[in-house]
Amino acid sequence: MSRTFDEVRGQALELNPEERGLLAEELLDSLRSEEDILLDDEYAVEIQRRVAEIKAGTAKLIPADESIARARRAVNDVRRTARRG
């Protein structure tokens, strides 16, 4: 690592936790591509749509335990299929 890196890292570690978190977010954001940003915007629109459905009472909600059980079955199915392949 370069000396400059070590100096910046040292200074960053002296920040309080909230400031370090903000800095980390900004650094991560600086690595994102335009495609990543567009996907985030699309996800935000979808999330807003789903929240509106929940509030309106038109969404079909699934209990968490059932949802987790479905996900586990799906993962196990994929693993079984991969072993046969």
pLDDT of amino acid 40: 86
DSSP for 10-73, written as a single string: HHHHTS-HHHHHHHHHHHHHHH--HHHHHHHHHHHHHHHHHHHHHHHT-S----HHHHHHHHHH
Whether the per-residue pLDDT at 85 is higher than 80: the answer is no
Over the stretch 3-13, which tens digit does the pLDDT of each residue have? 899 999 999 99
pLDDT of amino acid 36: 84
Measured CA to CA, the distance from residue 20 to residue 12 in angstroms comes to: 7
Over the stretch 20-52, which tens digit does the pLDDT of each residue have? 999 999 999 899 888 888 888 899 999 999 999
53-60 average pLDDT score:
96
Whether the per-residue pLDDT at 1 is higher than 80: the answer is no
- Domain limits, the chain: 1-31
3-class SS at 33?
A: coil
